C-alpha cells in the first residue's frame, strides 16, 4: 500500500469511526431482503436540504433550498459557505443542486443550480460556477440561464451529472404552468441539456446544426427530472422524473430523443383527474420509459450501487421518493428491470437526494423544515 492510499484509508476509517461513536444514539438496524443495514443520522437541523456532494477529504457539501450551502464535517457540525448566489425561494424553487467539477482538486470549481429572479417576479433555472476556497465561494458567475423566465414555484428540475467526455448534463423541468413547453424545441423547459464546463455549447450536441432547436438541448419531452446519473462503466444516462398523479418514470436517456411529456403519460391532471395525454404510449417518435411508476413514487434523487459494501445490490439503482417516503431499489438482468424493493418506507420522511459516498455507503437527504442527512451501511461495518 503506497503512502497516499494509506492516508486515504485512515481518513475513511476516521470518518466512519466519528460517525459511529459521535452519533451512536441515532443509529438503528433495519432488515432488507438480502441483508441487514444500519441507518445512522449524521447531520440534523437542515432546512429543506436538497443535494449532497462529497469533497476530496470526504466532508460533504449540502444545499438548503432557502439559499444556504454548508460544509458538513464527520461529527455532523455545519459550516456555512459564503458567497452563494441570491435565490428566489418560493415553492419548489431556491438553491438546488451542488456538484464538483471532475478536476475540482486542481481548479476548485463547484456548480450550483438555483431559481433566479427576473423582471415582474418571474424566475428561471440557472447554473452558477465558483471556486471553493475554505468556507467561501469566489469568482461566482452564472454560466447558463434558461432562455425563458416564467412564474415562480414549480418544476425547476436542476439535477447535474458529468459525462465521461467532461461535458455536463443539466435538467430543467417544464416549469409547471404550461406543460407543452416540454415539446417546444426552442424552449429549454422540459429538457435535458448538455453543456461544456464553462456553460457553452458542445460542438457535437444533437441539435447544434438545427436553427429551430435550442443548441443546448440533449433530449426533450421531460416533465421534471429530479434524479440523474451517468453509469461509470457504460456511460448510460439514467433519469427519474415526476408525472402528475402517477406516471413517474425511469428513463434511459439518449441524445436527440423525445420522452413524450405531455403527449404521452400515465399520469392524471391534478385538477380534473382526467388522463394527461395518451396512455397507450405508441407514438413512433417518442421513447417509452423503462419503468412507469403508477401509483407515483414522487421520484427525487438517484444513485447506482457500486463498491463492495452491498454485494447483493451491486449494479442496482436506488431511486428516492418524496411523498412515498422511500428508496426504491431496482434490480436489473440483461439491462432490463426484474425486481424492486421498498427501502425505508415511512422511516425517515421525504427523501430528496440519494448518493453513494466515497466510503461505499449510501447517503440520504431528507426534505423537511428540520431535515437531516442519513447514512445506510452494512450491519456491523
Q: CB neighbours (10 Å) of residue 6?
A: 10
Instruction: Look at residue 25 and tell me whether its pLDDT is greater than 50.
Output: no
> Can you tell me the mean pLDDT for 30-35?
94
Q: CB neighbours (10 Å) of residue 119?
A: 6
Instruction: Look at residue 372 and tell me whether its pLDDT is greater than 60.
Output: yes
Cα–Cα distance between 291 and 310 in angstroms, integer?
23
Structure confidence at residue 281 as a pLDDT band (50, 70, 90): confident
Domains of the chain listed by start with CATH number: 3-356+363-378 (2.120.10.30)
Count the helix, strand and coil residues of the chain and give each as a percent rounded to the nearest 5: 10, 45, 50
Lowest mean pLDDT among 123-132, 133-142, 262-271: 262-271
pLDDT score, position 128: 98
Closest CA to 365 of 88, 75, 65: 65
Instruction: Look at residue 379 and tell me whether its pLDDT is greater than 90.
Output: yes
Structure confidence at residue 376 as a pLDDT band (50, 70, 90): very high
Report strand pairing: 168-172 vs 191-195.
antiparallel
Top pLDDT among 15 and 177 is at 177
> Can you tell me the mean pLDDT for 267-288?
84
Contacts of 77 (CB under 8 A, 6+ apart): none
pLDDT score, position 6: 44
Residue % of the chain over a pLDDT of 90:
86
* C-beta separation of 159 from 226 below 8 A: yes
Cα–Cα distance between 228 and 136 in angstroms, integer?
27
Structure confidence at residue 305 as a pLDDT band (50, 70, 90): very high
* C-beta separation of 223 from 179 below 8 A: yes
> Can you tell me the mean pLDDT for 354-380?
97
Instruction: Look at residue 261 and tell me whether its pLDDT is greater than 60.
Output: yes
pLDDT score, position 283: 87
pLDDT score, position 24: 43
Instruction: Look at residue 331 and tell me whether its pLDDT is greater than 70.
Output: yes
Cα–Cα distance between 37 and 9 in angstroms, integer?
22
Place of cell 466519528: 18
Instruction: Look at residue 207 and tell me whether its pLDDT is greater than 60.
Output: yes
> Can you tell me the mean pLDDT for 21-36?
78
> Can you tell me the mean pLDDT for 128-144?
98
Instruction: Look at residue 280 and tell me whether its pLDDT is greater than 90.
Output: no
> Can you tell me the mean pLDDT for 301-327?
97
Selecting among 48, 70, 101, 155, the annotated active-site residue is 155
> Can you tell me the mean pLDDT for 163-167?
98
> Can you tell me the mean pLDDT for 192-207?
98
Strand order in the sheet with 326-333: 299-304, 317-321, 326-333, 336-343
Burial of 322 per CB tally in 10 Å (0-12, 13-18, 19+) = buried
* C-beta separation of 172 from 204 below 8 A: no
pLDDT score, position 362: 98
Place of cell 503512502: 3
Top pLDDT among 68 and 3 is at 68
* C-beta separation of 168 from 160 below 8 A: yes
Report strand pairing: 168-172 vs 160-162.
antiparallel
Per-residue CA distances from 342 to 33, 314, 328, 329 (Å):
10, 16, 5, 6
Report strand pairing: 109-117 vs 95-100.
antiparallel
Structure confidence at residue 16 as a pLDDT band (50, 70, 90): very low
Structure confidence at residue 13 as a pLDDT band (50, 70, 90): very low
> Can you tell me the mean pLDDT for 223-244?
97
Radius of gyration of the chain (CA): 20
Give the Cα-Cα-Cα angle 62, 63, 64 (nearest 5 degrees): 125
pLDDT score, position 5: 44
Top pLDDT among 9 and 298 is at 298
Burial of 284 per CB tally in 10 Å (0-12, 13-18, 19+) = exposed
Structure confidence at residue 282 as a pLDDT band (50, 70, 90): confident
pLDDT score, position 269: 84
pLDDT score, position 4: 42
Strands (E), 232-360: 237-241, 248-253, 291-293, 299-304, 317-321, 326-333, 336-343, 351-356
Place of cell 395518451: 278
* C-beta separation of 146 from 125 below 8 A: yes
Instruction: Look at residue 174 and tell me whether its pLDDT is greater than 60.
Output: yes
Is 101 labeled as catalytic in the residue annotation?
Answer: no
Q: Could you read off the pLDDT of 73-89 as tens digits, one per residue?
A: 999 999 999 999 999 99
Amino acid at each position: 500500500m503506497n503512502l497516499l492510499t494509506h492516508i486515504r484509508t485512515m481518513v475513511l476509517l476516521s470518518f466512519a469511526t466519528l460517525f459511529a461513536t459521535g452519533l451512536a444514539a441515532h443509529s438503528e438496524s433495519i432488515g432488507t431482503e438480502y441483508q441487514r443495514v444500519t441507518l445512522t443520522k449524521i447531520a440534523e437541523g437542515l432546512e429543506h436540504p436538497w443535494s449532497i456532494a462529497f469533497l476530496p477529504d470526504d466532508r460533504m457539501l449540502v444545499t438548503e433550498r432557502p439559499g444556504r450551502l454548508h460544509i458538513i464535517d464527520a461529527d455532523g457540525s455545519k459550516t456555512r459557505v459564503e458567497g452563494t448566489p441570491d435565490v428566489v425561494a418560493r415553492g419548489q424553487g431556491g438553491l438546488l443542486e451542488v456538484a464538483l467539477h471532475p478536476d475540482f482538486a486542481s481548479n476548485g470549481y463547484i456548480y450550483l443550480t438555483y431559481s433566479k429572479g427576473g423582471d415582474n417576479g418571474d424566475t428561471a433555472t440557472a447554473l452558477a460556477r465558483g471556486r471553493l476556497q475554505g468556507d467561501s465561494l469566489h469568482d461566482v458567475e452564472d454560466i447558463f440561464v434558461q432562455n425563458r423566465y416564467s412564474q415562480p414555484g414549480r418544476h425547476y428540475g436542476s439535477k447535474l451529472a458529468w459525462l465521461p467526455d467532461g461535458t455536463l448534463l443539466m435538467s430543467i423541468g417544464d416549469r409547471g404552468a404550461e406543460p407543452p413547453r416540454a415539446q417546444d424545441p426552442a424552449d429549454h423547459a422540459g429538457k435535458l441539456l448538455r453543456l461544456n464546463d464553462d456553460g457553452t455549447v458542445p460542438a457535437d450536441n444533437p441539435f447544434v446544426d438545427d436553427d429551430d432547436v435550442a443548441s443546448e438541448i440533449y433530449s426533450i419531452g421531460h416533465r421534471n427530472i429530479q434524479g440523474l446519473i451517468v453509469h461509470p462503466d457504460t456511460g448510460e444516462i439514467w433519469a427519474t422524473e415526476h408525472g402528475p398523479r402517477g406516471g413517474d418514470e425511469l428513463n434511459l436517456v439518449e441524445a436527440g430523443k423525445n420522452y413524450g411529456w405531455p403527449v404521452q403519460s400515465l399520469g392524471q391532471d391534478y385538477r380534473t383527474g382526467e388522463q394527461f395525454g395518451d396512455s397507450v404510449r405508441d407514438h413512433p417518435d417518442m421513447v417509452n420509459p423503462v419503468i412507469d411508476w403508477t401509483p407515483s413514487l414522487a421520484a427525487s434523487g438517484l444513485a447506482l450501487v457500486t463498491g463492495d459494501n452491498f454485494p447483493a445490490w451491486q449494479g442496482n439503482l436506488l431511486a428516492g421518493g418524496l411523498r412515498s417516503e422511500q428508496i426504491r431499489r431496482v434490480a436489473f438482468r440483461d439491462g432490463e428491470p426484474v425486481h424492486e424493493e421498498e427501502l425505508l418506507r415511512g422511516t425517515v420522511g421525504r427523501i430528496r437526494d440519494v448518493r453513494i459516498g466515497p466510503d461505499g455507503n449510501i447517503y440520504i437527504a431528507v426534505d423537511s423544515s428540520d431535515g437531516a442527512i442519513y447514512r445506510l451501511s452494512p450491519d456491523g461495518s
